Structure 1
Amino acid sequence: MTIETPTKNQELLQEFTAAQREAAFKSLSPDMIAHLREIGTVTREASGTWLYEAGMGAYDFYVVVSGMVHIIDQGDQGDGIIGRVGSNAFIGELGLLMGQAPFLSAKVVEDAELIRLTGDEMRAVINSVPEIGDVIVAAFAARRELLMKSATANLTIMGPEGEPSVVRALEYVSRNRIPHRWLDTRQAEGAALADRLSLDPAQMNVVLRGDQVVKRPDNPGIAYALGIPLDVADGTSVDLTVIGAGPGGIAAAVYGASEGLNTLVIENTAIGGQVGTSSRIENYMGFPTGISGTDLAYRGQIQAIKFGARFASPRTARSVEQTEDGWNIKLCNGNDICTRSIVVATGVQYRRMPLPRLEEFERAGVYYAATELEARFCANTEAVVIGGGNSAGQAAMYLSRHAKHVHVCIRRDGLAATMSDYLLKRLESDPRITVHTLTEVTALHGDKMLSGVTLTHKENGDTHVDTKALFIMIGAAPNTDWLGDKCKLDDKGFILTGEAAGGSTPFATSCSGIYAIGDVRSGSVKRVASSVGEGSVVVSAVHGYLAGLEA
């Protein structure tokens, strides 16, 4: 597969590493094509035939034996050629593996001989023939990264910078790796498109493929409009349901699905959970130069999907009730999931501070994540970070490359007890960062957008800081309300497991068939690596439990 030139994508291609370029555009060997020919259907399509169009629903996997196919981005500026697929190459990207509707269209431009495989046939090949599966999965993942950089017009988020609903929508599509672009309706291009489509420039709206408008959608509305599968059929029955798609939940999905369990993952916000809000993790083994939380979660999700796990996001578990066959989980849309076992990996969330006007400024200057999306709001302003843990330290280091200056506020007299030594030393040596000990944020200022904060030192009194970006990374409130009184909790709301809960294994809760891992578990070590370890180990206990039911 090659990139059509000259286009902006040729420039984007240069940002890819040599390994990414090789993975994205690698051709299949003659032996691989021969194997796929035995499984799929050989078709001949004339020039001008559309193999599929963006948003059409389920589509097939194609190998181009001869001829030429163009991959096309359909937008308000007309059709743009993203790539050309010639002999021995294949068509598709990660959405095909995930059951998503296509983000792009494919059109035959030279009479072509093709091998067509259905989605199920393709997934069977990936799982049974690793030599072919590795090539396809690596290419799909690399192509999704290229789509994320190319600002595809398939999905356009429209609205003014700083509008909370715009930030919320951008958070969702960015953290879930959904290709998109954002047009600020206060700038010329965005204003012109809003005028042409008769849209209110002060509101958040979504435009699909240049002219299909979805007005003020919530996150599930965006997913539905794009054809991203969210709804698990009412009454769906599975072996294992994982609630929460942070590192621990994804690990449980990888090991559960790879060991033959029919596995479903429910996530209420974005794949990656709280770790997805981290711009860089440097002390996770195997990544000497660090990795962002979203990248780590993304790689794990691809592994889980490759083995057959299904993900539904954003979807929320509302309640759980025991049945004769296991457990019934009620989802936020009213559907029921029948599951033989449950792994709770819902993690924690940052506590909301008792600050006047806090809710008013959330996503309008107050943020709970420090990723590339939030960093753009730090340009030409100082940033304030509340918190003394590793997440706060990582945020400060990352934001210091975008903001004029970063202020870190902690109530303690130092960071040594709460932050890893390597981060502490970096903060102390960076002239772009000031650590304010014995200091709290006590007031927020601004009209519709945050414009400043008051810092109160325990001994020296108040200081005003002009800022448009406050990052709150303090406290850890467990996400356990949906469980009701089903499982025993400690006095802080974390789930008791093992001996403390009367469980037969370290991660068993007080409820037979329900397990808890990661940050939501009482007594757990709040680290990414430990959550991943717990997610992998708990599957053995699940297998033992299910075997006991069948005995």
Structure 2
Amino acid sequence: MASDADIAFPKLTDPHIAALTRLGRAREVAAGEVLFAEGDRDFCFFVVLEGLVEIVEHSSGEPRTVTVHEPREFTGDVDMLSGRSALVTARMQTGGHVLALGAEALRKAVSELPELGETLLKAFLTRRALLIQEGFEGIKIIGSRFSPDAHRLRDFANRNAIPFTWLDLETDAQAEALLRHFGIPASATPVVIGRQGQLLTNPTVAELGHCVGLDADLNPDDVYDLVVVGAGPAGLAASVYAASEGLRVVTLDAIAAGGQAGTSSRIENYLGFPTGISGAELTANATLQAQKFGASITVPRTVVGLRAEGGERTVVLEDGSTLRSRCVIVATGVDYRRLDVQELNDFRGTGVYYAATDMEARFCKGEDVVIVGGGNSAGQAIVYLSRYARRVHVVLRANDLAKSMSRYLIARVEQLPNVQIHHNAQITSLDGDGRLTCVRIRLADGTEESVATTALFLFIGAVPRTGWLRGGVHLDKHGFLVTGHALTPETLASERWRAAGRAPFFLETSVPGVFGAGDARSGSVKRVASAVGEGSMAVSFVHAHIGSL
């Protein structure tokens, strides 16, 4: 069985090198020449034909050799396809010859040569994993584990696979030493120290994204075939299918690719994964797949408006910039509902959470936690957190999990010895001094129980993220997108539909060329597989609409 090192650093065959030679440019290089450096974007993919290429990283402040590429080996990792900034430097250790391919040529090679594409993609993914495992520190985030802003930054970095080192003011002496070095008082935290030494004080996620090279340059004069708003399962599926079928695609998300599915600890009923798959892994694979075909995925990008102007659709971003497109797919998903408890906002990010990822689980080790909700998201969180927590208290309004949770999850939950389910119960209040310390639960018999805890997880239904469309696209009374046959006769009789000369497609909204997919659509089935199906189906309607223009 091949080791991770074998997968990460394979040697290309003669046919593979010959195929790449037709798409690239061979050139001579001198010893000491830098092929690309940390922080570079749009750098080339290199195959070593002769000589040695050293890969070096400086995240700890000192140079560390990651590997030395020999002839027939190649440079790069997932950032080659994502367009993000390079994390490492490639320098010629000796003189020699290399074959250089730009990102577009590499995508063409991956697409046209499936066997080679599989080798490269497996290597890229494994290299990133090995880089983290071997001590790559990435950016540094310094703050208190009880700070909502620190949680916001850690969550953003975690969900976007940004390598980072967390330094907790509550427990880490190095955190205070670094703050003294930069002359920053603890009251000014959280702070972020970038890979090139940039210092950001309580940055927005947009500022952090720019610091690490997440944001892509978007030309407002370009006209895309498709803009996908939302990069959850529906949006990523649409991106994969549209890009693979030759459409020019840009995908936007306000936080991170993956949506709520990306925060799931384990999805066990998704077709083709008999042992289950984590939401993060599913998301990472889908994102890379879309980028492999040429889709541009950029975060954080918040969309605030949509205009229909002739045959084009204009998407308005929060910073005032715009994108022009022939079609738009709205796949913005939903937000979890808030608990109707007065003190809730006091503890958001300091004890109240809406996802149970590895980051939150680490803070729950050996402690009691409380989970509110009885759907599949709650079930997955119960199973996952039970591995870390001393006891998991589940607060359920109903008297039966079967009303909203899959049978396989119910069976798993009922077998866990450290899980206590409170049926017909509700949260009445939260207590704490800057951070959560206690949750009060009203039980079925009317008595109250206090649970000492620093973590409350909420999975209690959802509301669609469609407020930015209100007044321009028809929504139902709950705010979900109305599409296809559900559109009213008055809508179908409007001037825009008379001009279109056709009936709306199944997933088309009240605006021709604007489609809805996934959880934000009225009548959709709230499952990952269903969202993927709708996202891919919407692309066929995009082709049909563009063909009618």
TM-score calculated relative to the size of structure 1: 0.93
Q: Which stretches in structure 2 are left out of the alignment for 5+ residues?
A: 493-502
Residue 262 of structure 1 pairs with residue 248 of structure 2:
yes
- Per the alignment, residue 191 of structure 1 pairs with 176
RMSD: 1.8
For 2:543 and 2:255, the matched residues in 1 are separated by 28
Residue 363 of structure 1 pairs with residue 358 of structure 2:
no
Q: Which runs of 4+ in 1 moved over 6 A?
A: none
- Per the alignment, residue 54 of structure 1 pairs with 38
- AA aligned opposite 1:72: V
Segment of structure 1 superposing worse, 132-141 or 433-442? 132-141
- Per the alignment, residue 408 of structure 1 pairs with 394
- Per the alignment, residue 372 of structure 1 pairs with 358
For 1:150 and 1:392, the matched residues in 2 are separated by 34
Residue 42 of structure 1 pairs with residue 42 of structure 2:
no
Shift of 1:213: 1.9
Shift of 1:158: 1.9
Provide Cα deviations, 1:119-154, integer angstroms capped at 9, x if missing partner.
Answer: 222222222333322222221122223334445233
Pick the aligned partner of 1:83 from 64, 67, 74: 67
- CA 1:19/1:391 → structure 2, altered by over 3 Å: closer, same or farther? farther
- AA aligned opposite 1:372: D
For 2:132 and 2:338, the matched residues in 1 are separated by 31
- AA aligned opposite 1:532: V
**% identical equivalent positions:** 39
Query: Equivalent residues in 2 for 1:490-529 (5 A)?
Result: 490-501=476-487, 504-529=504-529
- Per the alignment, residue 118 of structure 1 pairs with 102
- CA 1:337/1:429 → structure 2, altered by over 3 Å: closer, same or farther? same
- AA aligned opposite 2:128: R
Contact 2:504 2:512 (8 Å CA) reproduced: no
Residue 327 of structure 1 pairs with residue 327 of structure 2:
no
- CA 1:45/1:231 → structure 2, altered by over 3 Å: closer, same or farther? closer
Give the match's secondary structure for 2:486: helix
For 2:222 and 2:135, the matched residues in 1 are separated by 36
Contact 2:328 2:515 (8 Å CA) reproduced: yes
- AA aligned opposite 2:36: Y
Give the match's secondary structure for 1:110: coil
Contact 1:246 1:275 (8 Å CA) reproduced: yes
For 2:10 and 2:284, the matched residues in 1 are separated by 21
Contact 1:76 1:210 (8 Å CA) reproduced: no
Pick the aligned partner of 2:141 from 152, 157, 180: 157
Shift of 1:277: 1.8
- Per the alignment, residue 461 of structure 1 pairs with 447
Pick the aligned partner of 1:429 from 415, 434, 439: 415
Residue 252 of structure 1 pairs with residue 238 of structure 2:
yes
Contact 1:69 1:110 (8 Å CA) reproduced: yes
Shift of 1:170: 1.4
- AA aligned opposite 1:534: E
Contact 1:230 1:315 (8 Å CA) reproduced: no
- Per the alignment, residue 384 of structure 1 pairs with 370
- AA aligned opposite 1:191: E
- Per the alignment, residue 537 of structure 1 pairs with 537
- Per the alignment, residue 134 of structure 1 pairs with 118
Contact 1:154 1:210 (8 Å CA) reproduced: no
Residue 288 of structure 1 pairs with residue 260 of structure 2:
no
Shift of 1:28: 1.0
For 1:168 and 1:18, the matched residues in 2 are separated by 39
Q: Which stretches in structure 1 are left out of the alignment for 5+ residues?
A: 1-16
For 2:138 and 2:413, the matched residues in 1 are separated by 41
For 2:208 and 2:265, the matched residues in 1 are separated by 25
Residue 207 of structure 1 pairs with residue 207 of structure 2:
no
Shift of 1:306: 0.8
- CA 1:411/1:59 → structure 2, altered by over 3 Å: closer, same or farther? same
- CA 1:436/1:178 → structure 2, altered by over 3 Å: closer, same or farther? same
Shift of 1:223: 1.6
